[in-house]
Amino acid sequence: MQEFQPVILGSDINAYGMARAFHEAYGLVSTAFAHQQLSPTKYSRIIDVHLVPDFANPKVFVPALNDWADAYHRDHPGATLLLLPCGDTYANLLDEFGDPLRERFVFNAIDAKLNRALSLKSSFYELCDRYDLPHPQTVSVDADDVKAGRHRKLPFDYPVAMKPADSDEWLGIDFPGRKKAFIFSNPEELDTMIRRSYQAGYTSKMVIQDFVPGGDDNMRVLNAYVDRHHRVRMMFLGHPLLEDPTPEAVGNYAAIMPDYNQDIFDRIKAFLEDINYSGVANFDMKYDPRDGVYKLFEINLRQGRSSYVVTLNGFNLARYFVDDLVLDTPFNGRTVFGRGHRLWMEIPKDIFRTYCAESEDKRQAMAMIRRGDWGTTLEYNKDRSLLRRLMIRHMFAIYRRRYRRYFRDKGELA
């Protein structure tokens, strides 16, 4: 096989999940670059993290990677360097500034204009309308609209959801009560938080939506791999049963069981191929019991933090990157629609037992746990050490405190 080295952008749980996929498939230790060290990749033997100050700055990002690649190629001439973004910031940097990296790396990227249309939630919903992809009823407003009070004139009732159209910019905004996304029961709550957002320096649009009723178990998450020739090679649908309740992490999945829905697969496949997408696409959606329709929330232009559920169920994501970008293996045109039988969790079992709502899905998930058909991203038997075990135990203790403090059942909202 052609010699290659995975180079991962990020140090979070998504980065560790991809490093684990490469280690499981090929026995390789991945190289990673990030601007800060995060807990999931600490004390690991399967990922070597290089910290670069101001790494999200394009004037730092490109030279740092190219300089490292030149040094690597002096010791490994002819090796292919496979570059994978594991965060919105890095995916955006590759799409907009990645061309100077192509002499030394192989990677998926899309046109910067398409990136903007997909990554901004306000324009993503416009694309959904064009392709007849259902989404919640939505109003987008900017700072001028808020000053004029237009955010109060909504064509749907409360409760409503609110989230920033530009999630990358939102990462740099801070103010009292800030969350990744909000659910408001009345106009006063909405008015307070949307004004705080713009006063804190947020400049992009804010998305206000009709709240789709139901709890975490009404969510679905889809991961698709689209090759460099814009052909969907694999799709896998997950059924989240529980989410992280922490304000800054709300909406992050904590437990996912496999699911299958051919209608969803067919709609999303047609969309991705028609817009000439490439790389991993990660979609969040929710089942609306009012009309029986799955409604899209967003697309992430990279694998999600919970995407190890795909590898856990037998569809190793690393192999799709390698087959496409390193080996350029022939593709027969038949998309793999994944089926699985293993439960993925980011949390310890006791949290799942305590906070997941009682349902037939939970009973099936508990049966998976009893059979041993489950796993986490972080607990890898080929990456064990005392420090790493202690770090994971500490992370799980933090999760327990978060659930005790913040958990509320969204299914109770009208």
The helix-helix angle for 121-130 and 112-119 (nearest 10°) equals: 90
- Rounded average pLDDT per 10-residue block, the chain, 414 residues: 95 97 98 97 98 97 98 97 96 96 97 94 93 95 94 94 91 90 94 95 95 92 97 98 90 95 97 97 96 95 94 98 97 96 96 95 97 97 97 96 89 58
State the Cα–Cα distance between residues 355 and 347, nearest whole angstrom: 11
Quote the pTM value: 0.93
Provide the pLDDT for residue 411. Answer: 63
State the Cα–Cα distance between residues 51 and 72, nearest whole angstrom: 17
Provide the pLDDT for residue 412. Answer: 61
Provide the pLDDT for residue 197. Answer: 96
Provide the pLDDT for residue 234. Answer: 98
Provide the pLDDT for residue 249. Answer: 84
CB 313 within 8 A of CB 286: no
Q: What separation, in Å, do the N-terminal and C-terminal C-alpha atoms of the chain show?
A: 56
State the Cα–Cα distance between residues 106 and 84, nearest whole angstrom: 9
